Structure 1
Amino acid sequence: MVDLNSKAIAFLAKYKLFKTDEIQQVQLQHRLDLVEKFDVKKGMRVLEIGCGQGDTTVALADAVGEAGKVIGIDIASRDYGAPLTLGQATDRIKHSALGERIIFHFDMDFESFESNELFDLVVFSHSSWYFKRPEDLLRYFKRLRHMTKSIAFAEWDLDFAHISQRAHFCAASILALYSSFVKNDGNIQNLFHKEQIRALLEKAGFQNIEQAMVNATYLQDGQWEKSYANSIREEFAKAPTMIQTLVTSYYEMMNVSNGNEQSLNSFILTAK
């Protein structure tokens, strides 16, 4: 179990969330670290795209304070997700002291989201790998250019800093390749490098792009992705021979970690 830092401990004591959920407590610590880098101010009105179970949403809601507002939208339904569905997880949040600051919309494609509001900040927090194509992200960014004063984007950093993070990189690569020939609703449909995201933001008209890094090595995501990648290995028998050869190499590199894997770090890009 990870020793929580003072920010996470204070949050848990204040809002009485995730009391018995040690995994969620660790995830919360990382999201609080991300939001600190987003430079959220009290009273801000924030739109979060791809809010999922509300991991980052609660950190944003804490940061904006009682005078602020966070709208979280996600294309998935309330029934999606495990061990808690999105509906179950966010209902828990709505019944907390943060609930009045948050509005969740599920089954909501951003391109169908209607708002005349100019948001102070739009957030993508570990949601971009659900996008299948870079042009889809670019389309979102172009629309957002007219809806927000600033944008904050966080995702796993493919430039792993230590060999212990290679297994997470390999697992993510395997799952992205899997999604290229097997339709699925997994959380990895494609991988985006931070320089590609930077280029897309610039193309959409965002400027003053700044980069930061947040440690995420202690999270369990790398282990989860490795386990899932191993569970679908036999399905690559349906893939073209060249894909099978490439994937075999990734599997060999991934599984040599023997349980010593750490998660990739998170990169952050902020722009105005």
Structure 2
Amino acid sequence: MKLSESTTTFLSTYKLFEEDEIQQVQLQHRLDLVKEFGIKRGMSILEIGCGQGDTTVALADAVGEAGKVIGIDIASRNYGAPLTLGQATDLIKKTKLGERITFNFEMDFETFDSNEVFDIAVLSHSSWYFKRPEDLFRYFKRLRRVAKRICFAEWDIDFRHITQRAHFCAASILALYSTFVNNDGNIQNLYHKVQIRELLKKANFHIEKQCTINAMYLQDVKWEKSYANSIRDEFTKSPLTIQSMVNGYYELMNTSNDNEQSLYVQGDKTL
């Protein structure tokens, strides 16, 4: 795919991901997200679930030299592939962006100790890691005390094109896998955008802006479909009713056409 002008400018400015075409595509999506979030120069940002820094670098670019981004993630530096979180973020720290970013791994937000009130807290593609809605709600409530706003982004399971069905089915399979077979997957649960907005409102946030970001070009559908197919036999450990349901998802996922595309992404900004 052709990269946007903002993506090529980022690549040439920071000399990051120059040889990594997969990461360049992911970067383009994160730059689009941050543009929708309305991040300004000089802001202080708290990012929940920073991972390998995909969104972090876009945030750091947006806040400029006078701003800062604090990224926290419950995973360890040794987690992740093909680069671990530690390897990926060490590369980021070596760039000009590194001075604006602090990464904290093996840190649960509920134990994060800070007296600062951040301009914005960002949760980007991290909500599916929360097994239970009450866990996510507890984060939202605590964020109400430490951030003026929340900017939230996640895959929109309300798919609109048949080409997105495989991604929806793969994500559903992986969520069921985490619940009924092995509880160590990246996808623990799927949340509909209406449920997310209800949880935000319950935590006393007001939804200021809602948006939909076209992320159909991202590679995630291929990755998640491949992983879902690799674990199919393990569902024999699950209850028969779950096996029946999952088989239906597999049939739908694997009979999709060749033009499979990723889901859209929902975005919400609060006051």
Q: Give the TM-score normalised by structure 1.
A: 0.98
- List alignment gaps of at least 5 residues for structure 1: none
What pairs up with 1:107-256 in 2 under 5 angstroms? 107-256=106-255
Instruction: Show structure 1 runs of 4+ deviating over 4 A.
Output: none
Letter in 2 for 1:210: K
Letter in 1 for 2:227: Y
Letter in 2 for 1:263: S
Residues 194-218 of structure 1, C-alpha deviations (whole Å, 9 max, x = no match): 1000000000000134210111000
Structure 1 window deviating more from structure 2 (250-259 vs 144-153): it is 250-259
| CA–CA distance in structure 2, aligned partners of residues 195 and 153 of structure 1 | 13
1:37 to 2:25 alignment: no
Please say if residues 4 and 29 of structure 1, whose CA atoms lie closer than 8 Å, have aligned partners that are also in contact.
Answer: yes
Report the secondary structure of 1:67's partner residue: coil
Per the TM alignment, residue 260 of structure 1 is displaced from its structure 2 partner at its CA by: 2.3
Q: 1:50 corresponds to which residue?
A: 49
| CA–CA distance in structure 2, aligned partners of residues 25 and 254 of structure 1 | 27
Please say if residues 49 and 74 of structure 1, whose CA atoms lie closer than 8 Å, have aligned partners that are also in contact.
Answer: yes
Report the secondary structure of 1:164's partner residue: helix
Letter in 1 for 2:199: L
Identity %: 71
| CA–CA distance in structure 2, aligned partners of residues 146 and 247 of structure 1 | 40
Q: 2:260 corresponds to which residue?
A: 261
Per the TM alignment, residue 161 of structure 1 is displaced from its structure 2 partner at its CA by: 1.3
Q: 1:25 corresponds to which residue?
A: 24
Q: How many residues align?
A: 271
Per the TM alignment, residue 184 of structure 1 is displaced from its structure 2 partner at its CA by: 3.4
| CA–CA distance in structure 1, aligned partners of residues 134 and 182 of structure 2 | 19
Per the TM alignment, residue 186 of structure 1 is displaced from its structure 2 partner at its CA by: 1.9
Per the TM alignment, residue 259 of structure 1 is displaced from its structure 2 partner at its CA by: 3.6
Please say if residues 47 and 72 of structure 1, whose CA atoms lie closer than 8 Å, have aligned partners that are also in contact.
Answer: yes
Please say if residues 181 and 235 of structure 2, whose CA atoms lie closer than 8 Å, have aligned partners that are also in contact.
Answer: no
Report the secondary structure of 1:195's partner residue: helix
Per the TM alignment, residue 182 of structure 1 is displaced from its structure 2 partner at its CA by: 2.3
- List alignment gaps of at least 5 residues for structure 2: none
| CA–CA distance in structure 2, aligned partners of residues 209 and 161 of structure 1 | 24
| CA–CA distance in structure 1, aligned partners of residues 95 and 199 of structure 2 | 37
| CA–CA distance in structure 2, aligned partners of residues 236 and 107 of structure 1 | 30
Please say if residues 198 and 209 of structure 1, whose CA atoms lie closer than 8 Å, have aligned partners that are also in contact.
Answer: no
Per the TM alignment, residue 258 of structure 1 is displaced from its structure 2 partner at its CA by: 4.7
| CA–CA distance in structure 2, aligned partners of residues 62 and 201 of structure 1 | 27
Residues 18-49 of structure 1, C-alpha deviations (whole Å, 9 max, x = no match): 01100000000000000001100000000000
Q: Give the TM-score normalised by structure 2.
A: 0.99
